[in-house]
Amino acid sequence: MYRISKEKLNDLYAKINETSGLYIPVKRAGEVNYAVWGEGKEVSLETLKTVKSPKSMFFPQTENMMKFKTDGKNIEVIDVREQFDERRPFVLFGVKACDYKAIEVLDKVFLGDPVDSYYKMRRETTTIVTLACSRPEESCFCKVFDVDATAPQGDVTTWLDAEYLYWQANTEKGEALTALVQELLEEGGETEVATQQAQTKAVIERLPFSNLDLSRFTPENLNALFNEKEWEEMSEACLGCGTCTFVCPTCQCFDIRDFKTNEGVIRYRCWDSCMYSDFTLMAHGNSRTTQMQRFRQRFMHKLVYYPSQYDGTYSCVGCGRCVNKCPQNLNIVKVIKTLGGKNND
């Protein structure tokens, strides 16, 4: 294990940036989100949760997929990826354990058959540096989904205290990045990291949502859960605003559209939300016509449909963003407590 003093972190960022793009939590206009690092930008590793998760590094909120140019009956298809520096390696720095687990959830979807080549290209060129949590908050419940906030996975795992950033390489990519910045690192930190981990775990055990009961959310209970009368009451206050889906690190719904320009036609995709009335709208209509049905779809997918398809892995990582952001206080915790049984009371 290695460490670097906090005073030298800008040197670390600059060294990484010499050979790779560097995306890191940056504070701007009072909010912290992942952005390209640069001298003078206000890096905020101490922020527990960025407003939006780092999934947009692999699955952008909007992206052009291709262009078409027509000349009579001839159609030219242009791969827009050739026009941009999308294949340049980049480092994603400061990813929390919940957000790293969320990337693994997305991997199962976008890297499964058929493989999403746009997502795959970004994943293959990325080195992920995770950062352990030291100050979890009341809205966190990652422990429920077997996420260890004190020991996140990734190519490199780091821990931060008042004096040092501690550094541990886990993969070949991590070893290569460590070799690049080796001159800035010094050995040490095992005792400090172990102490921080123990203290953080003690805090996590006392969080109000750390012991939610998921035992009822199984494929065998699909029909019973689907038909619960509580869905109607829980969804009554839902505005259908989609905030929960846009801050969620595992939501993967998107729409694809064509846009005509003077230079030809651009095909792009953008995030979509199962909470919207026009989601999956087809010529014959929509299979989910009420907000209750859309509300139910979102949480059944997280807790039943997705784990049924992917070997019991839930499509929620307990980051708590929906708990913090829903204007109506409707979130997955409420659903688990309402439908999960008496152990959640």
Digit-coded pLDDT (tens) for 123-168: 999 999 999 999 999 999 999 999 999 999 999 999 999 999 999 9
Domain boundaries, the chain: 2-51+85-206, 219-344
State pTM to two decimals. 0.93
Asked if pLDDT for residue 81 goes beyond 90, the answer is: no
What average pLDDT score do residues 22-26 get? Answer: 97
* Mode of pairing for the β-strands spanning 126-131 and 156-160: parallel
Of the candidate ranges 14-23, 36-45, 279-288, 293-302, the one whose mean pLDDT is the lowest: 279-288
Beta-carbon-side half-sphere exposure of residue 265 (alpha carbons within 13 Å): 11
Count CB-CB contacts under 10 A for residue 195.
Answer: 11
Higher pLDDT pick, 202 / 69: 202
What is the pLDDT of the chain when averaged over all its residues? 93
Q: How many residues does the chain have?
A: 345
